[in-house]
Structure 1
Amino acid sequence: MISLFMTFSDPAGERRVRPDALDAAAVLVGAVPQMTEGLLFTPLDQSVDHPYKADGFGPAFALQLRFPDLLACEAALDRGGALASLATGGGLSSFTGLDVTHQVMLTRAFPVDVAEHPAGTTTPCSYLVHYPGPAEDMNAWNLHYLEHHPSIMRTFPNVRQIEIYTRIDWIDRLPSQRVEYMQRNKLVFDSPQALAHALGSDVIQRMRADFVKFPPFAGGNKHFPMLTRVVVSRP
């Protein structure tokens, strides 16, 4: 499966997307041809306790769109489509003037013990991580990370989804800026509080112990807890 990521950032870190603009973005995303699922990410109203709070609140808005294959994704990235409109603000003041980047990546899903959210879940929370890179040896990096880190992630209490995204080549005509981060990750929990509980567990020590074994890489990493809204494709 292929994922498109778009990130909308305010250099001053002050902008927030209004609820009506989020609703309008959901309508635009739901109409993207051949998209199977859209995920809309917004910052938490109040930061939760997690080991990387120094990374800040994250972007004002981000999205992940899933496509069945690369050609379907590339077809949605033309200059006349809904995503091109959204990249320039989509006529919505909440998005106008933000710095927008995009990247297409391969989705690698890993098993969790229980994937379903409990009944009544209203504020699922995604922990978005990215590694800008580069690594000295991308094959060595991917081999180590994919063979070791997901099995540790699975032991976080009540983690509902584990996905790791790796680089591919793609074509597009979007007006936003292309980025080529070497990797992205996403962990999904039932709520910001569930995320904070998981990241406060002793599993984080095992994550850090593996981190020091990573093959050499530059660029560090960033971690952002984000509220998550699911948009299904409209026929």
Structure 2
Amino acid sequence: MSVEACLFLIGGGPGIDVGALSSAAQEIAGLKRFVFHCRDESPSGDPFLKSPANHPNLVFQWYFDDLGLLEAALQRQGAIQSALEVAARMLLDHGAFVQQVMAVRKLKAEDGQAPAERCTYLVSYEGEADDFNAWLTHYMTHHPPLMMQLPGLRELEIYTRVDYRTGLAFARAAAMQRNKVAFDDFSALSAALASPVRAKMKADFDALPRYRGDALHYPMHSIYGNLPAS
């Protein structure tokens, strides 16, 4: 199981030219993968959950093999800030995004090159577990084997917090954990959410050690940056 560091930038709106940002990202030293997720308005929903009220418009993921390289890119006036400024069609104030760097547990990935687009279900655990070690031990032992049974699943990643240095002025997010499951399209996601596996996942979630807070789920349209091979 490989472990990467991933920067999440969450928020955004019409003031970001995502095409320009994707082009600028190709110049960032150490950046291995770049994905941006756009809010989807598909009527398909999760039968076990209500749609969150604060659905983000954009989520950017910047993947690095080395936390030091990511921190270098995050310096004030560094490569990531420069890329954002190139892509901004309006002033990027401190409220444009929230930021968080997390460790990546890549549990299912493409054998070859990822497609240009996908549909993704992003999950954010915004609260705290009474005992995070017990939570994560139970979660990693029991939940991924169920998630891997979701029909049509193409990718599965689980993220946990790390301490990091940043020069970006955006507020820091503090999600305890994030997940990403990806599918070919939204009909595939809808089929997975309607499958019997979701009931098993809900039962396992209810059996987790005590957790206080929101567990937010966002369906997103995902576009993969075309970074040159290293």
Taking structure 2 as the reference length, what is the TM-score of the superposition?
Answer: 0.87
Tell me, yes or no, if structure 1 residue 35 matches structure 2 residue 19: no
Q: Deviations over 1:180-204 (max 9, x none)?
A: 2110000010001110110011111
Is the Cα contact below 8 Å between 2:15 and 2:89 reproduced in 1? no
5 and 27 in structure 1: CA distance in 2 versus 1, 3 angstrom threshold: same
Q: Distance in 2 between matches of 1:111 and 1:62?
A: 20
Q: What SS does structure 1 have at the residue aligned with 2:212?
A: coil
Q: What SS does structure 2 have at the residue aligned with 1:124?
A: strand
- Per the TM alignment, residue 89 of structure 1 is displaced from its structure 2 partner at its CA by 8.3
1:12 matched residue in structure 2: none
Q: What SS does structure 2 have at the residue aligned with 1:152?
A: helix
Higher fraction of strand: 2
Match of 1:66 among 45, 57, 63: 63
Match of 2:5 among 2, 7, 32: 2
Tell me, yes or no, if structure 1 residue 109 matches structure 2 residue 98: no
Structure 1 unaligned blocks of 5 or more: 10-14
Q: Which amino acid aligns with 2:211?
A: F
Q: CA RMSD in A?
A: 2.7
Alignment of 1:191-210 (within 5 A): 191-210=185-204
75 and 149 in structure 1: CA distance in 2 versus 1, 3 angstrom threshold: same
Q: Which amino acid aligns with 1:100?
A: F
Q: Deviations over 1:149-184 (max 9, x none)?
A: 100000000100111001111111111111221100
- Per the TM alignment, residue 77 of structure 1 is displaced from its structure 2 partner at its CA by 0.3
Alignment of 1:1-235 (within 5 A): 1-9=4-12, 15-16=13-14, 21-51=17-47, 52-56=49-53, 58-85=55-82, 90-93=87-90, 99-111=96-108, 115=110, 123-234=117-228
Q: Distance in 2 between matches of 1:23 and 1:158?
A: 28
Q: Distance in 2 between matches of 1:43 and 1:101?
A: 16
Q: Distance in 2 between matches of 1:122 and 1:90?
A: 20
Q: Which amino acid aligns with 2:99?
A: H
Equivalent pairs counted in the alignment come to: 225
Q: What SS does structure 1 have at the residue aligned with 2:225?
A: strand
190 and 233 in structure 1: CA distance in 2 versus 1, 3 angstrom threshold: same
Is the Cα contact below 8 Å between 1:17 and 1:61 reproduced in 2? no
Structure 2 unaligned blocks of 5 or more: none
143 and 137 in structure 1: CA distance in 2 versus 1, 3 angstrom threshold: same
- Per the TM alignment, residue 53 of structure 1 is displaced from its structure 2 partner at its CA by 4.3
Q: Which amino acid aligns with 2:174?
A: E
Identity of aligned residues (%): 32
Q: Deviations over 1:48-99 (max 9, x none)?
A: 2323342147211111111011111111101112422466784313967853
Q: Distance in 2 between matches of 1:95 and 1:50?
A: 33
Select between 147-156 and 172-181 the one with higher mean Cα deviation.
Answer: 172-181
Q: Deviations over 1:93-120 (max 9, x none)?
A: 39678531111111011147xx469x9x
Q: Distance in 2 between matches of 1:132 and 1:86?
A: 28
Q: Which amino acid aligns with 2:201?
A: M
Is the Cα contact below 8 Å between 1:126 and 1:188 reproduced in 2? yes
Q: Distance in 1 between matches of 2:93 and 2:21?
A: 13
Q: What SS does structure 2 have at the residue aligned with 1:223?
A: strand
Taking structure 1 as the reference length, what is the TM-score of the superposition?
Answer: 0.85
Is the Cα contact below 8 Å between 2:108 and 2:157 reproduced in 1? no
